[in-house]
Amino acid sequence: MKVLIAKNAQDAKEICNILKDEGYECAIVEKSLEIIDRVYTELPNLIILDLRLSHPSGLAILKKLKSAPSTRDIPIILSASARYTKRLARGYELGAFDYICKPYFKEEILARVRNITCTNSRVAELEQLLDRDYLTGLYNRRFFMERFVEELAWSKRYHEPLSVFMLDIDYFKKVNDTYGHECGDEILKQIAKTLTSSLRTEDIVARYGGEEFIVLLSNTNADGAITAAEKLRSAVEQRDFCYTDIHLRLTISIGVTTAYDRGGELSIDDIIGRADNALYAAKKGSRNRVVFL
């Protein structure tokens, strides 16, 4: 479990030493302006955020993290003096989970972190039942569309890039017809694992239907999306897919588009339609290729 501690160095090291002794991985960031970027690069499971930070303030950072779809579910513990009652109250309103204050007691900090871990695990179990595709374990189409609405609104509000690609397995019908649907189901599971291992943790990967998948890449421009798609296409091409004693080599076709710097107001249907057209162009050509529209 990784904890990002956003505090001055002396306090951060004290907390870090407590957590490291119990096996937690820690990262420290002191400058307010670097916190958001470090959250995206470190991908912490928990954030300890000092309310005394300024330019931007701790509350401003908390608000942005909790309003962004890709970071809002990361639990945040505020670090503040107990006398900051108004700031703490506002922090709870914005979505903070808990708070700690000096002097730091090992037993207290570990208990609060364990409580958060336990609560998040239970929430994750419930989300697994509601939001995941039963076969592949990827997100289902309903969850993807709900998240897309939020990510697109965020992208427009903060003028951040947003990209999407759609893909499907080339000649997958032949797999089912030749080796049966049990083999086909196993191949879909292995494709899903290849997707999640080749893409970033924050990318939203969903089964769109049948052998078709869709990926939402936040804060990613056209070049970044094309690079990610090519990496994924290559990973599938090089993998040996297995079912019992059957070994198969498969390929995928990918259609890529972006909602960034297009001008005007693109709807979700527009963006998905463009990605679908790009996928159609990839399959109409030689397949096993990436097409951007």
Q: Which residues are catalytic?
A: 211
Question: In this structure, what DSSP letter does residue 138 have?
Answer: S
Residue 119: strand, helix, or coil: helix
> Which residue from 189, 163, 54, 46 is spatially nearest to 110, judged by alpha carbons?
46
Do strands 252-258 and 246-248 pair parallel, antiparallel, or not at all (unpaired)? Answer: unpaired
The pair of structure tokens assigned to 175 is 């797999």
Query: What's the CA gap between 184 and 152, in Å, rounded?
Result: 33
Terminus-to-terminus CA distance in the chain, angstroms? Answer: 39
Residue 110: strand, helix, or coil: helix
What's the one-letter identity of residue 56? P
Tokens 């990613």 correspond to 220
> Which residue from 151, 133, 288, 115 is spatially nearest to 206, judged by alpha carbons?
133
